[in-house]
Structure 1
Amino acid sequence: MSEKTILCFGDSNTWGCDPSGWRRFGRKTRWPGVLQQELGQGYHVVEEGLGGRTTVWDDPIEGYKNGYAQLQPLLRSHMPLDLLVIMLGTNDLKNRFSVSAMDVSWGIGRLIDLARANSDAFTGSKAEILVVCPPPFAPMDGLALEGIFVGGEEKSRQLASAYRAVCKERGARMIDAGESISSSAVDGIHLEASEHAKLGRVIAREVAAMLRICIKKTATVT
């Protein structure tokens, strides 16, 4: 069979930010790397993680983080695509944006619409789309990021239901990551290595179902 390409479009939790010191986890530890190991040969997993990336918002402090502005060129750059995984929303909950969980889900909806309009350019076939809702924040009291995410902890618990409604409306598949993993207590928002491993395997099972493939064994994650 021809190689299938999967684009993972996300923020620092796709990039692989270690909550203890904000270094980057190794390729095989990050969840896209785990996904690649689980799927094995014949599948090319492309990592497109950027710290601070939002769904649709221009960041007045950090700049260049608007996911909507970046998605179309990335779709064109990596085409032909078989599947797009979108895991965004955490950074939308920064106090500077003052948006609700529903607003964030509408941002996800715009990304789904954009992907469907562009993933088939020059190829004639549309990529499948899988949305991964980030897990709720861990308690933020006293943490360094608390002042940036004022009110975000409560909103993060509302994301899954809001995402589910938007994905249902658009016929897109969704994973609620909060059902399988937890955000780190160290900084409240990033994922420990163990959670990357769990998430990669969860996403692999969903991808396998969407692409109608069989995962024969679970890879060892290092």
Structure 2
Amino acid sequence: MLLCFGDSNCWGWDPAGGRHAAALRWPDRLARRLGQPLHNLGQPGRTLAFNDAARGLVSARDQWQAALTAQPAYLVLALGINDLAAGGSPDGIGQALDSYLEDWQAAGRPGQLQLLAPAPIPALQGPWRNLFGHHSAQAPALLPLWQAAARHWRLACLDPSAMLGSSQDGLHWTAEAHGAIAQALGDAFAGASVGPAEGAG
């Protein structure tokens, strides 16, 4: 089984409105590439740790811990950008990522895990600009934190920024971007080797 745990881009939010068809979403495309059944736990507004419930931004830590009990063969964690909108600092968001990886280790390190890093969001439009406000300028600071976590935990980490192009709202991904991301994740899974985390016993 492939388990994808993420936010609105994992869910398949279409920047033109509505939701991409299942066949176009990166989790579905990746599942086909891997020949695995899919459990897509993407949810709009989901964060790692920081909450602003009035604006629909809610931490998914409990759901993540529950999801790990499914013992997937493949796992993609694709969260973090919404924590900025909820007021989290980059350092705090990086610490939240580490807590999710600690949960993964405590669950027995199920499956091959990849991190899908948050992408910069320089040209937000409409309500998304209001949602993130000045916090959007901090988005580029997240990638180095994801890459550091990946090195520590001996994980693959995909930076999607070069694959995204432009979209109508500046936050959500086009069908073409979904395809490129699925291809890159599939290539990384094909070449992945999972080792112990630094300092792990």
Q: TM-score, normalised by structure 1?
A: 0.79
Counterpart position of 1:39: 34
Structure 2: tracts of 5 or more residues without a match: 195-201
1:103 matched to 2:92: yes
1:1-222 equivalent positions in 2, closer than 5 A: 5-21=1-17, 23-40=18-35, 43-62=36-55, 65-76=58-69, 79-94=70-85, 97-118=86-107, 120=108, 126-140=110-124, 143-182=126-165, 184=167, 186-210=168-192
Structure having the higher helix fraction is 2
Identity %: 26
Q: Is the 8 A contact 1:14 1:32 kept in 2?
A: yes
Alignment partners' CA distance in 2, 1:144 and 1:58: 18
Alignment partners' CA distance in 1, 2:146 and 2:193: 22
Give 3-state SS (helix, strand or coil) of 1:91's partner: helix
Counterpart position of 2:198: none
Larger radius of gyration: 1
Alignment partners' CA distance in 1, 2:165 and 2:95: 24
Question: What is the CA-CA distance between 1:103 and the residue it aligns to?
Answer: 1.8
Q: 1:66 to 1:169 in 2, by over 3 A?
A: same
Alignment partners' CA distance in 2, 1:182 and 1:112: 29
Runs of 4 or more consecutive aligned structure 1 residues displaced over 4 Å after TM superposition: none
Q: Is the 8 A contact 2:112 2:189 kept in 1?
A: no
Question: What is the CA-CA distance between 1:63 and the residue it aligns to?
Answer: 5.7
Q: Is the 8 A contact 1:136 1:183 kept in 2?
A: no
Give 3-state SS (helix, strand or coil) of 1:157's partner: helix
Residues 116-166 of structure 1 deviation map (CA, whole Å, 9 limit, x = unaligned): 212x3xxxx7322211102211412x5321111012332111211121122
Alignment partners' CA distance in 1, 2:173 and 2:161: 11
Q: Is the 8 A contact 1:139 1:153 kept in 2?
A: no
Q: CA RMSD in A?
A: 2.1
Residues 145-200 of structure 1 deviation map (CA, whole Å, 9 limit, x = unaligned): 1111012332111211121122222333211111332452x212110111111111
Q: TM-score, normalised by structure 2?
A: 0.87
Alignment partners' CA distance in 2, 1:80 and 1:171: 19
